[in-house]
Amino acid sequence: MKAKFAFIIVMLLFGSIGLFVKNINLLSSEIALFRGVIGSVFLIGASFLVKQRFNFKTSKQNLVLLLTSGTALGFNWIFLFEAYQYTTVSNATLSYYFAPVFVMVLAPFLLKENWTWKKGLSIVVALLGLFLVVQPDSGMGSEALNHPIGIGYGLLAAGFYASVILMNKFLKGLSDFETTVMQLSIASLVLLPYVVFTETMNYSGLDTQSLVLVSILGVIHTGVAYLLYFPALQKLDGQTIGIYSYIDPISAVLMAAIILSESMSVLQIVGGICILGSTFLREVTGHKDEVEL
């Protein structure tokens, strides 16, 4: 019961990320950098308090995969946070949830998984759902939003997330906690020079609200969320994890509607149901190593 409660809390935290990002007065790459730095430092420090096994030593194969996946993780965040700026939280979340579909498409080639008619049908339904979600007007009535571009960024983020999932399949001898801490740290190291060379990095005008929100994003949505996530992951069966994972996107849509007054057309709601429904069969089969990022 405690594991289920902890997992639900984590899903609600992940679902609320868009609400925080939309109100942080920083560029997407800067938000991603701060999240990675704060989150990785918190988790490394917390590992001593909770006596979590952590070892920096690893094989050369793992090192290459960690460097690549950590880089992909950093850019995954950048594109996701950029999606929040161009479209609604609902649209960004639903397009980002296309990641499992990308995994289904690539798994037969990279992981030698068998094609099935269920997977093929899931991909077709997801594409139909995406077509319905990509509407020029989501009812927000704001000229500042460009939904097709925002959804495009969401899909790019989903692609990078899918690559992280697939690369994690080839890691050997590392726990989920060790993998995540290393990927967060590498993402931070990669994003630092990227931000330095592409942005002005002038934070003299950074307001208190943004400072508080980015701190919460790093400590609560990353550090605390992962500390709760991993123990719960080990105690729950695959089907429960798959079903409860839908709390993340559904809560994101509901919170955006209630707090940000975002709305969706009937077609977009149907499209969202298609996208989430298309991944249901894969999620309930118990992919316990697919960590939320």
Alpha carbon distance 262, 120 (integer Å): 32
pLDDT tens digits for range 167-223: 998 988 888 888 888 999 999 999 999 998 887 777 766 788 999 999 999 999 999
Averaged pLDDT score across all residues of the chain: 84
Reply yes or no on whether the pLDDT at 141 is more than 60.
Answer: no
Q: Which residue did the predictor score with more confidence, 285 or 211?
A: 211
pLDDT at residue 163, as a whole number: 94
Q: Which residue did the predictor score with more confidence, 59 or 109?
A: 109
pLDDT, average across residues 150-155: 94
Q: From the CB of residue 190, how many other CB atoms can be counted at a distance below 10 Å?
A: 19
Reply yes or no on whether the pLDDT at 42 is more than 70.
Answer: yes
Query: Which range scores top for mean pLDDT: 31-45, 95-109, 126-140, 239-253?
Result: 31-45
Q: What percent of the chain has pLDDT above 90?
A: 42
* DSSP code at position 112: -
pLDDT tens digits for range 239-282: 677 778 888 998 998 999 899 888 888 888 888 888 888 777 66
pLDDT at residue 96, as a whole number: 93
* DSSP code at position 113: P
In this prediction, residue 288 has a pLDDT band, given cuts at 50, 70 and 90, of very low
Secondary structure (DSSP) of 40-92:
HHHHHHHHHHTT--------HHHHHHHHHHHHHHHHHHHHHHHHHHHS-HHHH
* Lowest model confidence (mean pLDDT) among 85-94, 106-115, 137-146, 229-238: 137-146
Amino acid identity of residue 35, one-letter, is R
Reply yes or no on whether the pLDDT at 1 is more than 60.
Answer: yes
pLDDT at residue 135, as a whole number: 61
Q: What percent of the chain has pLDDT above 70?
A: 87
Reply yes or no on whether the pLDDT at 231 is more than 90.
Answer: no
List the alpha helices (DSSP H) in the chain.
2-15, 17-21, 28-49, 60-86, 89-96, 99-110, 117-133, 147-168, 176-198, 208-218, 225-235, 238-244, 247-259, 266-283
Q: How far is CA 71 from CA 75, 153, 171, 281, in A?
A: 7, 17, 15, 29
Alpha carbon distance 258, 285 (integer Å): 32
